[in-house]
A and B are shown apart, each in its own frame.
Chain A
Amino acid sequence: MARAGGWAMVAAGASLLLFLTAAALAGPWLAPSHPDEISLEESLLPPGPGHPFGTDYYGRDLLSRVLAGARVSLAISFSAQLVALVIGVSLGAAAGYFGGWVDWLVCRLVDIVMAFPDLLLAIGIAASLGPGPSSVLLALGLVGWPGLCRVVRGEVMALREREFIDAARVAGAGDWWVIRRHVLPNVAGPVIIATSLGLGSRILQEASLSFLGLGVQPPTASWGSMVHLGLRWLSRAPWLVVFPGLAVALAVLASNLLGDGLRDVLDPRLSD
Protein backbone atom coordinates (compact mmCIF):
# COMPACT_ATOMS: atom_id res chain seq x y z
CA MET A 1 0.00 0.00 0.00
CA ALA A 2 2.70 2.39 1.11
CA ARG A 3 4.34 1.46 -2.12
CA ALA A 4 1.51 2.56 -4.42
CA GLY A 5 1.30 5.87 -2.54
CA GLY A 6 5.04 6.17 -2.89
CA TRP A 7 4.93 5.76 -6.61
CA ALA A 8 2.17 8.37 -6.88
CA MET A 9 4.32 10.82 -4.94
CA VAL A 10 7.34 10.07 -7.08
CA ALA A 11 5.32 10.60 -10.23
CA ALA A 12 3.82 13.86 -8.96
CA GLY A 13 7.12 15.22 -7.69
CA ALA A 14 9.09 14.21 -10.73
CA SER A 15 6.61 15.58 -13.23
CA LEU A 16 6.28 18.85 -11.32
CA LEU A 17 10.03 19.23 -11.19
CA LEU A 18 10.33 18.31 -14.84
CA PHE A 19 7.63 20.81 -15.72
CA LEU A 20 9.40 23.60 -13.83
CA THR A 21 12.74 22.75 -15.42
CA ALA A 22 11.20 22.59 -18.89
CA ALA A 23 9.46 25.92 -18.33
CA ALA A 24 12.74 27.45 -17.20
CA LEU A 25 14.61 26.13 -20.21
CA ALA A 26 11.90 27.12 -22.67
CA GLY A 27 11.52 30.48 -20.94
CA PRO A 28 12.93 32.65 -23.73
CA TRP A 29 10.41 31.20 -26.16
CA LEU A 30 7.45 31.04 -23.81
CA ALA A 31 7.83 34.50 -22.36
CA PRO A 32 5.56 37.21 -23.74
CA SER A 33 8.42 39.71 -23.71
CA HIS A 34 12.05 40.12 -22.73
CA PRO A 35 12.32 39.92 -18.93
CA ASP A 36 14.33 43.13 -18.67
CA GLU A 37 12.29 45.14 -21.15
CA ILE A 38 11.17 48.32 -19.38
CA SER A 39 7.90 50.00 -20.24
CA LEU A 40 7.15 52.64 -17.66
CA GLU A 41 3.67 53.39 -18.84
CA GLU A 42 2.67 49.80 -17.94
CA SER A 43 3.93 50.08 -14.36
CA LEU A 44 2.32 47.85 -11.71
CA LEU A 45 -0.44 46.42 -13.86
CA PRO A 46 -2.44 43.65 -12.15
CA PRO A 47 -2.58 40.21 -13.79
CA GLY A 48 -4.65 40.45 -16.92
CA PRO A 49 -4.87 39.37 -20.55
CA GLY A 50 -1.71 41.10 -21.78
CA HIS A 51 0.39 40.23 -18.74
CA PRO A 52 -0.87 37.01 -17.13
CA PHE A 53 1.18 37.63 -13.93
CA GLY A 54 0.96 41.42 -14.09
CA THR A 55 3.89 43.83 -14.29
CA ASP A 56 6.31 45.39 -11.83
CA TYR A 57 7.21 49.02 -11.08
CA TYR A 58 9.23 49.36 -14.28
CA GLY A 59 6.45 47.80 -16.30
CA ARG A 60 8.47 44.59 -16.89
CA ASP A 61 6.32 41.53 -17.60
CA LEU A 62 6.26 39.41 -14.42
CA LEU A 63 5.65 36.08 -16.17
CA SER A 64 8.74 36.61 -18.26
CA ARG A 65 10.69 37.50 -15.16
CA VAL A 66 9.47 34.46 -13.18
CA LEU A 67 10.50 32.25 -16.09
CA ALA A 68 13.90 33.91 -16.29
CA GLY A 69 14.21 33.66 -12.51
CA ALA A 70 13.49 29.95 -12.73
CA ARG A 71 16.55 29.49 -14.90
CA VAL A 72 18.76 31.23 -12.39
CA SER A 73 17.23 29.77 -9.24
CA LEU A 74 17.04 26.21 -10.48
CA ALA A 75 20.48 26.30 -12.07
CA ILE A 76 22.06 27.54 -8.85
CA SER A 77 20.12 25.11 -6.65
CA PHE A 78 20.82 22.10 -8.83
CA SER A 79 24.52 22.91 -9.08
CA ALA A 80 24.74 23.62 -5.36
CA GLN A 81 23.16 20.27 -4.61
CA LEU A 82 25.60 18.64 -7.00
CA VAL A 83 28.49 20.19 -5.09
CA ALA A 84 26.93 18.98 -1.83
CA LEU A 85 26.47 15.52 -3.35
CA VAL A 86 30.08 15.20 -4.45
CA ILE A 87 31.49 16.43 -1.14
CA GLY A 88 29.00 14.47 0.98
CA VAL A 89 29.37 11.17 -0.83
CA SER A 90 33.15 11.23 -1.07
CA LEU A 91 33.72 12.28 2.53
CA GLY A 92 30.97 10.00 3.83
CA ALA A 93 32.23 7.01 1.87
CA ALA A 94 35.82 7.64 2.98
CA ALA A 95 34.81 8.03 6.62
CA GLY A 96 32.60 4.96 6.66
CA TYR A 97 34.96 2.78 4.70
CA PHE A 98 38.32 3.65 6.22
CA GLY A 99 37.15 4.50 9.73
CA GLY A 100 39.88 5.45 12.18
CA TRP A 101 41.32 8.94 11.92
CA VAL A 102 39.69 9.64 8.56
CA ASP A 103 36.34 9.02 10.16
CA TRP A 104 37.28 11.14 13.16
CA LEU A 105 38.30 14.03 10.98
CA VAL A 106 35.21 13.92 8.79
CA CYS A 107 32.93 13.67 11.81
CA ARG A 108 34.50 16.72 13.42
CA LEU A 109 34.11 18.62 10.17
CA VAL A 110 30.46 17.64 10.02
CA ASP A 111 30.02 18.70 13.63
CA ILE A 112 31.52 22.08 12.92
CA VAL A 113 29.37 22.73 9.86
CA MET A 114 26.26 21.47 11.61
CA ALA A 115 26.96 23.67 14.64
CA PHE A 116 25.90 26.76 12.69
CA PRO A 117 22.41 27.33 11.36
CA ASP A 118 22.57 26.50 7.67
CA LEU A 119 21.38 29.83 6.44
CA LEU A 120 23.66 31.87 8.67
CA LEU A 121 26.68 29.92 7.54
CA ALA A 122 25.66 30.25 3.90
CA ILE A 123 25.25 33.99 4.34
CA GLY A 124 28.66 34.21 5.94
CA ILE A 125 30.38 32.25 3.19
CA ALA A 126 28.55 34.01 0.37
CA ALA A 127 29.21 37.41 1.89
CA SER A 128 32.90 36.73 2.29
CA LEU A 129 33.10 35.52 -1.30
CA GLY A 130 31.32 38.64 -2.53
CA PRO A 131 27.88 38.74 -4.11
CA GLY A 132 27.19 36.86 -7.32
CA PRO A 133 25.69 33.57 -8.44
CA SER A 134 28.89 31.53 -8.19
CA SER A 135 29.49 32.46 -4.58
CA VAL A 136 25.90 31.55 -3.68
CA LEU A 137 26.31 28.23 -5.46
CA LEU A 138 29.51 27.47 -3.57
CA ALA A 139 28.13 28.64 -0.24
CA LEU A 140 25.04 26.46 -0.57
CA GLY A 141 27.12 23.48 -1.63
CA LEU A 142 29.43 23.92 1.33
CA VAL A 143 26.50 24.11 3.70
CA GLY A 144 24.49 21.27 2.23
CA TRP A 145 26.81 18.26 2.37
CA PRO A 146 26.80 17.15 6.04
CA GLY A 147 23.38 15.49 5.89
CA LEU A 148 24.36 13.43 2.88
CA CYS A 149 27.71 12.69 4.41
CA ARG A 150 26.09 11.23 7.51
CA VAL A 151 23.70 9.10 5.50
CA VAL A 152 26.50 7.72 3.34
CA ARG A 153 28.84 7.16 6.27
CA GLY A 154 26.22 5.19 8.20
CA GLU A 155 25.30 3.06 5.21
CA VAL A 156 28.90 2.36 4.31
CA MET A 157 29.77 1.43 7.87
CA ALA A 158 26.99 -1.13 7.91
CA LEU A 159 28.02 -2.37 4.47
CA ARG A 160 31.63 -2.76 5.51
CA GLU A 161 30.66 -5.53 7.90
CA ARG A 162 28.90 -7.42 5.13
CA GLU A 163 30.80 -10.41 3.95
CA PHE A 164 30.62 -9.60 0.26
CA ILE A 165 33.09 -6.80 0.81
CA ASP A 166 35.57 -9.36 2.13
CA ALA A 167 34.63 -11.64 -0.72
CA ALA A 168 35.57 -8.94 -3.22
CA ARG A 169 38.87 -8.47 -1.43
CA VAL A 170 39.59 -12.15 -1.65
CA ALA A 171 38.90 -11.96 -5.36
CA GLY A 172 41.72 -9.42 -5.55
CA ALA A 173 39.88 -6.12 -5.42
CA GLY A 174 41.53 -3.00 -4.01
CA ASP A 175 39.83 -0.28 -1.99
CA TRP A 176 38.91 1.82 -5.01
CA TRP A 177 37.31 -1.11 -6.82
CA VAL A 178 35.40 -2.17 -3.72
CA ILE A 179 34.06 1.33 -3.14
CA ARG A 180 33.12 1.89 -6.76
CA ARG A 181 31.70 -1.52 -7.59
CA HIS A 182 30.22 -2.71 -4.31
CA VAL A 183 29.83 0.11 -1.84
CA LEU A 184 28.45 2.98 -3.89
CA PRO A 185 25.88 0.96 -5.86
CA ASN A 186 24.53 -0.31 -2.57
CA VAL A 187 24.15 3.16 -1.08
CA ALA A 188 22.59 4.59 -4.24
CA GLY A 189 19.05 4.30 -2.87
CA PRO A 190 19.54 6.35 0.31
CA VAL A 191 21.73 8.82 -1.59
CA ILE A 192 19.05 9.46 -4.19
CA ILE A 193 16.47 10.00 -1.47
CA ALA A 194 18.67 12.37 0.51
CA THR A 195 19.66 14.24 -2.65
CA SER A 196 16.13 14.98 -3.75
CA LEU A 197 15.13 16.02 -0.25
CA GLY A 198 18.21 18.24 -0.05
CA LEU A 199 17.31 19.86 -3.33
CA GLY A 200 14.25 21.37 -1.66
CA SER A 201 16.41 22.98 1.00
CA ARG A 202 18.83 24.32 -1.62
CA ILE A 203 15.97 25.97 -3.54
CA LEU A 204 14.67 27.57 -0.40
CA GLN A 205 18.14 28.70 0.70
CA GLU A 206 18.94 30.11 -2.71
CA ALA A 207 15.74 32.14 -2.55
CA SER A 208 16.65 33.37 0.92
CA LEU A 209 20.13 34.40 -0.13
CA SER A 210 18.90 36.24 -3.20
CA PHE A 211 16.22 37.77 -1.06
CA LEU A 212 19.00 39.22 1.04
CA GLY A 213 20.67 40.53 -2.07
CA LEU A 214 23.61 38.11 -2.03
CA GLY A 215 22.77 36.28 -5.23
CA VAL A 216 22.49 37.53 -8.79
CA GLN A 217 22.52 41.27 -9.14
CA PRO A 218 19.83 43.40 -10.79
CA PRO A 219 18.54 43.58 -13.37
CA THR A 220 18.95 39.76 -13.62
CA ALA A 221 16.01 38.12 -11.93
CA SER A 222 15.89 35.23 -9.48
CA TRP A 223 12.89 34.18 -7.45
CA GLY A 224 14.37 35.32 -4.18
CA SER A 225 15.41 38.76 -5.39
CA MET A 226 12.01 39.21 -7.02
CA VAL A 227 10.26 38.60 -3.70
CA HIS A 228 12.67 41.02 -2.11
CA LEU A 229 11.94 43.76 -4.63
CA GLY A 230 8.23 43.08 -4.55
CA LEU A 231 7.94 43.46 -0.80
CA ARG A 232 8.13 47.24 -1.15
CA TRP A 233 4.87 47.19 -3.12
CA LEU A 234 3.19 44.49 -1.10
CA SER A 235 0.03 46.42 -0.35
CA ARG A 236 -0.34 47.94 -3.81
CA ALA A 237 0.80 45.07 -5.98
CA PRO A 238 0.77 41.77 -4.01
CA TRP A 239 1.23 39.74 -7.23
CA LEU A 240 4.86 40.84 -7.27
CA VAL A 241 5.44 38.63 -4.19
CA VAL A 242 2.80 35.99 -4.74
CA PHE A 243 4.00 34.61 -8.11
CA PRO A 244 7.72 34.22 -7.40
CA GLY A 245 6.85 32.99 -3.91
CA LEU A 246 4.51 30.41 -5.39
CA ALA A 247 7.22 29.30 -7.78
CA VAL A 248 9.61 28.69 -4.85
CA ALA A 249 6.94 26.80 -2.92
CA LEU A 250 6.09 24.67 -5.93
CA ALA A 251 9.73 23.73 -6.57
CA VAL A 252 10.32 22.87 -2.91
CA LEU A 253 7.13 20.82 -2.79
CA ALA A 254 8.14 18.97 -5.93
CA SER A 255 11.50 17.87 -4.61
CA ASN A 256 10.08 16.92 -1.22
CA LEU A 257 7.37 14.85 -2.87
CA LEU A 258 10.00 13.15 -4.96
CA GLY A 259 12.25 12.47 -1.99
CA ASP A 260 9.52 11.18 0.31
CA GLY A 261 8.01 9.10 -2.45
CA LEU A 262 11.38 7.57 -3.27
CA ARG A 263 11.87 6.73 0.37
CA ASP A 264 8.57 4.86 0.46
CA VAL A 265 9.38 3.05 -2.73
CA LEU A 266 13.03 2.25 -2.16
CA ASP A 267 13.29 1.68 1.55
CA PRO A 268 11.17 -1.40 2.25
CA ARG A 269 13.49 -3.70 0.37
CA LEU A 270 16.43 -2.00 -1.20
CA SER A 271 17.61 -5.18 -2.83
CA ASP A 272 14.52 -5.65 -4.97
Chain B
Amino acid sequence: MAQGAAGAAGARLSPQVDALIRAAQRGDQDAFEQLVRAYDQSVLRLAMNLLRSPEDARDVYQEAFLRVYRNLHAFRFDCSFHTWLYRIVTNICLDQLRKRKVRKEEPAVVETSDGPIDRMESFEEDAAEADPERSMWNRQLKQRIEGALEDLTPRERMVFELRHYQGLRLRNIGEMLGTSEEAAKNCLFRATQKMRSVLGDFV
Protein backbone atom coordinates (compact mmCIF):
# COMPACT_ATOMS: atom_id res chain seq x y z
CA MET B 1 0.00 0.00 0.00
CA ALA B 2 1.44 3.34 -0.96
CA GLN B 3 2.11 5.75 1.87
CA GLY B 4 3.23 8.62 -0.33
CA ALA B 5 2.13 11.35 2.04
CA ALA B 6 4.26 10.12 4.88
CA GLY B 7 6.43 13.22 4.70
CA ALA B 8 3.55 15.63 4.60
CA ALA B 9 1.66 13.75 7.27
CA GLY B 10 4.69 13.85 9.50
CA ALA B 11 5.05 17.57 8.92
CA ARG B 12 1.43 18.18 9.84
CA LEU B 13 2.08 18.45 13.53
CA SER B 14 5.49 19.97 13.29
CA PRO B 15 6.02 23.28 15.04
CA GLN B 16 8.52 24.18 12.30
CA VAL B 17 5.72 24.17 9.75
CA ASP B 18 3.65 26.45 11.96
CA ALA B 19 6.61 28.79 12.24
CA LEU B 20 7.07 28.78 8.48
CA ILE B 21 3.42 29.56 7.90
CA ARG B 22 3.50 32.46 10.35
CA ALA B 23 6.66 33.84 8.78
CA ALA B 24 5.20 33.48 5.30
CA GLN B 25 2.04 35.22 6.47
CA ARG B 26 4.25 38.13 7.53
CA GLY B 27 5.60 38.25 3.97
CA ASP B 28 8.81 36.28 4.37
CA GLN B 29 9.48 34.93 0.85
CA ASP B 30 12.11 32.43 1.98
CA ALA B 31 9.70 30.93 4.46
CA PHE B 32 7.06 30.65 1.77
CA GLU B 33 9.50 28.88 -0.52
CA GLN B 34 10.45 26.44 2.24
CA LEU B 35 6.81 25.78 2.93
CA VAL B 36 6.22 25.02 -0.74
CA ARG B 37 9.18 22.67 -0.80
CA ALA B 38 7.89 20.77 2.20
CA TYR B 39 4.68 19.85 0.39
CA ASP B 40 5.13 20.25 -3.34
CA GLN B 41 6.41 16.80 -4.17
CA SER B 42 3.30 15.09 -2.90
CA VAL B 43 1.13 17.69 -4.67
CA LEU B 44 2.94 17.12 -7.96
CA ARG B 45 2.75 13.36 -7.54
CA LEU B 46 -0.98 13.58 -6.93
CA ALA B 47 -1.51 15.70 -10.04
CA MET B 48 0.75 13.51 -12.19
CA ASN B 49 -0.98 10.34 -11.06
CA LEU B 50 -4.46 11.72 -11.64
CA LEU B 51 -3.86 13.61 -14.87
CA ARG B 52 -0.92 11.67 -16.29
CA SER B 53 0.38 14.66 -18.16
CA PRO B 54 3.40 16.67 -17.01
CA GLU B 55 1.96 19.82 -18.58
CA ASP B 56 -1.35 19.51 -16.75
CA ALA B 57 0.40 18.57 -13.53
CA ARG B 58 2.53 21.67 -13.88
CA ASP B 59 -0.59 23.82 -14.34
CA VAL B 60 -2.15 22.32 -11.21
CA TYR B 61 1.04 22.94 -9.26
CA GLN B 62 1.24 26.54 -10.39
CA GLU B 63 -2.39 27.37 -9.78
CA ALA B 64 -2.53 25.60 -6.42
CA PHE B 65 0.51 27.30 -4.94
CA LEU B 66 -0.45 30.69 -6.33
CA ARG B 67 -3.79 30.30 -4.56
CA VAL B 68 -1.91 29.33 -1.42
CA TYR B 69 0.26 32.41 -1.84
CA ARG B 70 -2.72 34.71 -2.26
CA ASN B 71 -4.82 33.20 0.52
CA LEU B 72 -2.27 32.18 3.10
CA HIS B 73 -3.12 35.24 5.22
CA ALA B 74 -6.57 33.72 5.70
CA PHE B 75 -5.24 30.42 7.07
CA ARG B 76 -6.28 30.34 10.74
CA PHE B 77 -4.70 27.06 11.92
CA ASP B 78 -8.16 25.56 12.45
CA CYS B 79 -7.15 22.50 10.45
CA SER B 80 -3.75 21.15 9.45
CA PHE B 81 -1.98 23.05 6.71
CA HIS B 82 -1.81 19.81 4.75
CA THR B 83 -5.60 19.52 4.82
CA TRP B 84 -6.02 23.17 3.87
CA LEU B 85 -3.56 22.83 0.99
CA TYR B 86 -5.21 19.65 -0.23
CA ARG B 87 -8.62 21.31 -0.26
CA ILE B 88 -7.19 23.68 -2.83
CA VAL B 89 -5.32 21.04 -4.79
CA THR B 90 -8.14 18.50 -4.93
CA ASN B 91 -10.55 21.22 -6.08
CA ILE B 92 -8.32 22.12 -9.00
CA CYS B 93 -7.72 18.47 -9.90
CA LEU B 94 -11.44 17.65 -9.69
CA ASP B 95 -12.18 20.51 -12.08
CA GLN B 96 -9.63 19.11 -14.51
CA LEU B 97 -11.05 15.59 -14.22
CA ARG B 98 -14.58 16.88 -14.79
CA LYS B 99 -13.51 18.81 -17.87
CA ARG B 100 -11.98 15.62 -19.20
CA LYS B 101 -15.17 13.69 -18.53
CA VAL B 102 -17.02 16.21 -20.65
CA ARG B 103 -14.46 16.08 -23.44
CA LYS B 104 -14.89 12.35 -23.54
CA GLU B 105 -12.35 11.86 -26.32
CA GLU B 106 -9.46 12.63 -23.99
CA PRO B 107 -7.65 9.40 -23.14
CA ALA B 108 -6.79 9.16 -19.49
CA VAL B 109 -3.55 7.39 -20.24
CA VAL B 110 -1.16 9.91 -21.75
CA GLU B 111 -1.61 13.33 -23.18
CA THR B 112 -0.74 12.89 -26.84
CA SER B 113 -0.49 9.98 -29.19
CA ASP B 114 2.93 10.91 -30.51
CA GLY B 115 4.32 12.95 -27.65
CA PRO B 116 7.63 12.10 -26.03
CA ILE B 117 6.03 10.75 -22.88
CA ASP B 118 4.17 8.10 -24.80
CA ARG B 119 7.39 7.08 -26.45
CA MET B 120 9.07 6.78 -23.08
CA GLU B 121 6.41 4.28 -22.09
CA SER B 122 6.94 2.23 -25.19
CA PHE B 123 10.66 2.23 -24.46
CA GLU B 124 9.90 0.81 -21.07
CA GLU B 125 8.04 -1.98 -22.74
CA ASP B 126 10.92 -2.60 -25.11
CA ALA B 127 13.03 -3.28 -22.08
CA ALA B 128 10.52 -5.84 -20.86
CA GLU B 129 10.39 -7.64 -24.18
CA ALA B 130 13.03 -10.08 -23.01
CA ASP B 131 10.11 -11.98 -21.51
CA PRO B 132 7.19 -11.56 -23.91
CA GLU B 133 4.76 -13.51 -21.76
CA ARG B 134 5.39 -11.38 -18.73
CA SER B 135 5.18 -8.12 -20.61
CA MET B 136 2.01 -9.24 -22.39
CA TRP B 137 0.35 -10.08 -19.11
CA ASN B 138 1.48 -6.81 -17.60
CA ARG B 139 0.20 -4.87 -20.59
CA GLN B 140 -3.23 -6.49 -20.49
CA LEU B 141 -3.54 -5.96 -16.78
CA LYS B 142 -2.49 -2.35 -17.22
CA GLN B 143 -5.10 -1.79 -19.93
CA ARG B 144 -7.86 -3.20 -17.78
CA ILE B 145 -6.83 -1.06 -14.87
CA GLU B 146 -6.78 2.07 -17.03
CA GLY B 147 -10.28 1.21 -18.24
CA ALA B 148 -11.51 0.67 -14.71
CA LEU B 149 -10.08 3.94 -13.49
CA GLU B 150 -11.69 5.79 -16.38
CA ASP B 151 -15.08 4.44 -15.36
CA LEU B 152 -14.84 6.06 -11.94
CA THR B 153 -16.52 9.39 -11.32
CA PRO B 154 -14.04 12.21 -10.65
CA ARG B 155 -14.93 12.07 -6.98
CA GLU B 156 -14.49 8.32 -6.69
CA ARG B 157 -11.23 8.63 -8.57
CA MET B 158 -10.04 11.32 -6.16
CA VAL B 159 -10.96 9.38 -3.02
CA PHE B 160 -9.26 6.30 -4.38
CA GLU B 161 -6.16 8.28 -5.28
CA LEU B 162 -5.92 9.86 -1.85
CA ARG B 163 -6.44 6.56 -0.06
CA HIS B 164 -4.41 4.21 -2.20
CA TYR B 165 -1.55 6.31 -3.46
CA GLN B 166 -1.30 9.09 -0.91
CA GLY B 167 -2.08 6.81 2.00
CA LEU B 168 -4.48 9.23 3.70
CA ARG B 169 -7.21 8.13 6.10
CA LEU B 170 -10.84 8.39 5.01
CA ARG B 171 -11.63 10.80 7.82
CA ASN B 172 -8.95 13.16 6.58
CA ILE B 173 -10.07 12.70 2.97
CA GLY B 174 -13.62 13.63 3.95
CA GLU B 175 -12.30 16.77 5.59
CA MET B 176 -10.44 17.70 2.42
CA LEU B 177 -13.32 17.10 0.09
CA GLY B 178 -15.84 18.82 2.35
CA THR B 179 -17.80 15.69 3.10
CA SER B 180 -18.22 13.10 5.84
CA GLU B 181 -16.00 10.12 6.54
CA GLU B 182 -19.00 7.93 5.74
CA ALA B 183 -19.46 9.52 2.32
CA ALA B 184 -15.75 9.12 1.57
CA LYS B 185 -16.02 5.48 2.61
CA ASN B 186 -18.92 4.93 0.23
CA CYS B 187 -16.89 6.52 -2.55
CA LEU B 188 -13.94 4.23 -1.87
CA PHE B 189 -16.28 1.27 -1.69
CA ARG B 190 -17.83 2.07 -5.08
CA ALA B 191 -14.42 2.69 -6.60
CA THR B 192 -13.01 -0.66 -5.49
CA GLN B 193 -16.21 -2.47 -6.54
CA LYS B 194 -15.98 -1.01 -10.04
CA MET B 195 -12.34 -1.93 -10.37
CA ARG B 196 -12.92 -5.41 -9.10
CA SER B 197 -15.72 -6.00 -11.58
CA VAL B 198 -13.70 -4.77 -14.56
CA LEU B 199 -10.92 -7.11 -13.58
CA GLY B 200 -13.22 -10.17 -13.59
CA ASP B 201 -11.20 -13.34 -13.20
CA PHE B 202 -8.13 -11.86 -14.83
CA VAL B 203 -5.81 -12.08 -11.86
Report if A and B associate in a common complex.
no
